[in-house]
A and B are shown apart, each in its own frame.
Chain A
Amino acid sequence: MDIQNIAVSDSLAQDDALTELVNSRSIVLQDEIPNATAKAEWDKQVDARGRPLLILALRDSFAGESTKTFAPVELEPHYDQHLRERLRGMHGAMLRVGQSRARIAGLYSDIREWLATVQPPVLIDEYEVRLNEELSGPYSMPALSIRRGNRSIEVQPIAIWVVGAQGRVDIVGPTDRRILVDDGQAWQIVTDDFQRYSLPLDANVFRQAINFLLA
């Protein structure tokens, strides 16, 4: 099943020519986004020189998302192959964002469990941050704030396209930070020891890192 839900924003709908252009390429979207849960929305913006730009936002039901900017000329039939390649890239990026969100949610679930009994106790809040990477465009990911007394640390997603890893989340304290990487199998904490590079992240390692950063 391919993408079924392709919408046009109110601001774009006021521009008949551009609306007709994006509608004429819906069949290409359906070809290249083989995902029945995906939704696409075209929007219109204007660049610094006053030229129109088309913004395509893809989302699926697994919280994957990808947003990219297109020049109207890229949607002309002459550039069919180019458009298809960009759409395939966006589809892959959307899936990757959704998968990473699930991996990060798993990490946060572990963190909540590891900190449930820690003494002195900590308060945990979850909030959303916006990231922007070349392959996906802007997207949202959850972050954590961990507070003990008047000190707090943030668990912040940094990137999901990392050389040698599947994603990076930093634990940022008032004076220092620790880097967590997703190696595709499990989360690791990066060490200073360049003979070993990283250690598997578990309750003890995480609590040590938190206690150090909150000290």
Chain B
Amino acid sequence: MNPLDEILQSYNTTRDALRMAQRVVQQNIPGAITDRHSFFGQTVQENESRLQTAQEELDTTVVLSLVAAFERLLRNHVMQELDQQLTCANEVHRGIRTQVNHDVEFWRIADDLVAVFVTVSANVRGQARQMVEFRDWVAHGKRWKSVPEAPSTNVIPVYAHRILSDFLRSAGVI
């Protein structure tokens, strides 16, 4: 089971719900929109615009979720590898292992964590780094002026899932 599947499945469900909402708005189905919905009393154009914005927001935040899960899986995998490799014959060994595991939490994902997995093709590692760059842009508030600039690449959610899954498979994580 690929843990990223669940995230993309939820994304697909939410996106379908937005599509259905768009049809409801456009076809003005009687009774479908009540005063308990934010669409109530708005023009079709206004509601379409809101749904479009929501879709764009969904497309970026799903990449954030995918990269967050990817990062956790990689860190856990490195820690498991360390547990297997480092002996624990005495207190000092245990202390070293604990400290090294602690340090892994502070490895920078794009520079350190992804770079460890040299068995993954350089192309996929590069794409995973681009995904992390995109995630950082989203996570740090993409609309705010204090955020330096947009990443140089566009990310398609389904392709984010493919690339990160390819990485995890090549790295032996899943």
Show the binding face of A for B, using Cβ within 8 Å.
133-135, 158-159, 161-165, 168, 174-176, 179, 181, 190-192, 194, 197-198
A165 and B158 alpha carbons, distance in the complex (Å): 12
Given A134-B150, A163-B160, A164-B127, the answer on whether A175 and B23 have CB atoms closer than 8 Å is yes
Q: With contacts defined as CB atoms under 8 Å apart, how many contacts are there between chain A and chain B in the complex?
A: 67
Show the binding face of B for A, using Cβ within 8 Å.
5, 8-9, 12, 19, 22-23, 26, 127, 130-131, 134, 149-156, 158-163
A134 and B150 alpha carbons, distance in the complex (Å): 7
A208 and B12 alpha carbons, distance in the complex (Å): 20
A191 and B156 alpha carbons, distance in the complex (Å): 11
Q: Which residue of B lies closest to A190 (CB)?
A: B158
Contact, CB under 8 Å: B159 / A163: yes
Contact, CB under 8 Å: B22 / A175: yes
Q: List B contacts of A135 (CB < 8 A).
A: 152
The prevalent SS among residues of A at the interface is loop
Contact, CB under 8 Å: A162 / B151: no
Contact, CB under 8 Å: A194 / B162: yes
Given A176-B19, A176-B22, the answer on whether A165 and B152 have CB atoms closer than 8 Å is no
A168 and B23 alpha carbons, distance in the complex (Å): 25
Q: List A contacts of B158 (CB < 8 A).
A: 179, 190-192, 194, 197-198
Q: List A contacts of B159 (CB < 8 A).
A: 162-165, 181, 190, 197
Given A134-B151, A179-B156, the answer on whether A163 and B163 have CB atoms closer than 8 Å is yes
A175 and B26 alpha carbons, distance in the complex (Å): 8
A198 and B151 alpha carbons, distance in the complex (Å): 24
A165 and B130 alpha carbons, distance in the complex (Å): 12
